[in-house]
Amino acid sequence: MPEKVLTNKDLESIVDTTDEWIYSRTGMRERHIAADGQATSDLGAEAAKRAIEDAGISAEELDLVVVATLSPDMFFPSTACFVQEKIGAKNAFCFDLGAACSGFLYAMDNARAQIASGAVRNALVIGAEKMSTFLDWEDRSTCILFGDGAGAAVLQAGGEGRGVMDSVMGSDGSLAGLLSTPGGGSRNPISHEMIDQKQHYLQMQGREVFKHAVTRMTEAVVQALDKNGVSAADIKCFIPHQANVRIIDAISKRLKVADRMYTNVEKYANTSSAALAIALDEAVKDGSITKGDLVVLTVFGGGFTWGANVLEWGK
């Protein structure tokens, strides 16, 4: 996480909001904000270095670096190439994956498939975001919701247990307009007019997104359990996308797993594709997940995109 913390109280002096409103509607208390000049790849590289150290391998042993992000350093080259340079992963091929907040799970599944095919032995999967650059700090309905941060995991061939098991993933492009950054790309290129209309900032129909997030993540978890031949009772820890504690509570209720649902949205707000990776890391460090435990990850984001997978923690 970047050093600077922005609390709900701090936000009260930026937009017309209150700590009480934000906490009661989202469960968020604070979020971290990257420094000026600190780019997404800087956050991603820091997380990557720690993941590589944890895995006990060298950066040269990586065959693949994939960065899930919706806030890249630049349109191109990929943020993954900048991370590669920063960590010295000179033998890896590198690319970014765009699936908005669902990116880390999609990237994890991509790495899993490449390892299963035999093409890759060591993959570094990173979720990294500097959301603060792409927020309208005059729009109270969005700027309070997001934070910056990064998380990373090394996936390796072999090892004990079942590792990363099958995923369920889905998308619905017909709902793209409910959550997007409409300006700055080929559809609506950079112009003074586009910027005056603030279309280069994230826009969201929050209430609609909320409903779809609950339904899709709940369905995806049920399908992922079924696909992998395990039941909710077998799962030690459920890690959902950290967008709103009320979304997480609604999923917990439907699945009846409130006692094993992991949340850290209070501290970091919604860090988009980094959220799952950060929560997974914290869950391992605080002992919520230990060797041999079955874990379910589930995500939802712009696109719309969603998914869930099951993994057996191997370390």
Residue closer to ligand UT7 (CB basis): 12 or 61: 12
Q: How crowded is residue 245: how many other Cβ atoms within 10 Å of its Cβ?
A: 19
Residue 247 within binding range of ligand UT7, rule CB under 6 A: yes
Stretch of 50-58, 124-132, 204-212, 222-230 contacting ligand UT7, by CB under 6 A: 204-212
Can you read off the two tokens belonging to residue 123?
A: 């993959």
Q: Quote the CA–CA distance of 22 and 302 in Å, as a whole number.
A: 22
Asked whether the beta carbons of 74 and 155 are under 8 A apart, the reply is: no
Would you state the structure tokens that stand for residue 233, as one six-digit string? 């009772």
Task: Verify binding: residue 13, ligand UT7, rule CB under 6 A.
Answer: no
Which one from 101, 110, 237, 244 is the annotated catalytic residue? 101
- Binders of ligand UT7: how many residues, by CB under 6 A? 21
Comparing CB distances to ligand UT7, the nearer of 130 and 293 is 130
Which of 237, 241, 244, 309 does the annotation list as catalytic? 241
Q: Which of residues 128-147 bind ligand UT7 (CB under 6 A)?
A: 140-141, 144-145
Piece of the chain touching ligand UT7 by CB under 6 A; list 106-114, 150-158, 206-214, 224-232: 206-214
94 given a catalytic annotation: no
How far apart CA 21 and CA 137 sit, in angstroms, is 17
Q: Given the complex with ligand UT7, which of 61 and 136 has the nearer CB atom?
A: 136
* C-alpha span between 4 and 39 (Å, rounded): 14
Taking the complex as a whole, how short is the minimal distance between the CB of residue 144 and ligand UT7, in angstroms? 5
Candidates 18-26, 54-62, 253-261, 290-298 — which segment interacts with ligand UT7 by CB under 6 A? 18-26
Of residues 301 and 307, the one with the C-beta less far from ligand UT7: 301
3-state SS string over 153-167?
EEEECCCCCCCEEEE
Told to judge if 101 belongs to the known catalytic residues of this protein, a careful annotator would answer yes
The answer to whether residue 263 forms part of the interface with ligand UT7 (CB under 6 A) is: no
Q: Does 276 bind ligand UT7 (CB under 6 A)?
A: no
- Angle, CA of 27, 28 and 31, to the nearest 5°: 165
Q: Is 273 in the site for ligand UT7 (CB under 6 A)?
A: no
Helix, strand, or coil (residue 35): coil
- Report the residue from 209, 224, 237, 279 that binds ligand UT7 according to the rule CB under 6 A: 209
Residue (72 or 301) nearer to ligand UT7, CB: 301
Q: Does 239 bind ligand UT7 (CB under 6 A)?
A: no
Task: Concatenate the DSSP letters of all residues of 242-303 into one string.
Answer: -S-HHHHHHHHHHHT-GGGB---HHHH-B-GGGHHHHHHHHHHHTTSS-TT-EEEEEEEETT
Nearest residue to 311 (alpha-carbon basis) of 237, 213, 200: 237
192 binding ligand UT7? (CB under 6 A): no
Query: Is residue 23 a contact point for ligand UT7 (CB under 6 A)?
Result: no
Q: Could you write out the DSSP letters of every residue in 56-124?
A: T--GGG-SEEEEE-SS-SSSSS-HHHHHHHHHT-TT-EEEEE--GGGHHHHHHHHHHHHHHHTS-SEEE
Neighbours of 85 (CB within 10 A): 14
Q: Which of the residues 110, 264, 270, 309 is marked catalytic?
A: 270
Q: Where on the chain is the footprint of ligand UT7 (CB under 6 A)?
A: 17, 21-22, 25-26, 101, 140-141, 144-145, 206-207, 209-210, 213, 243-244, 247, 270, 300-301
Active-site annotation, residues: 101, 241, 270
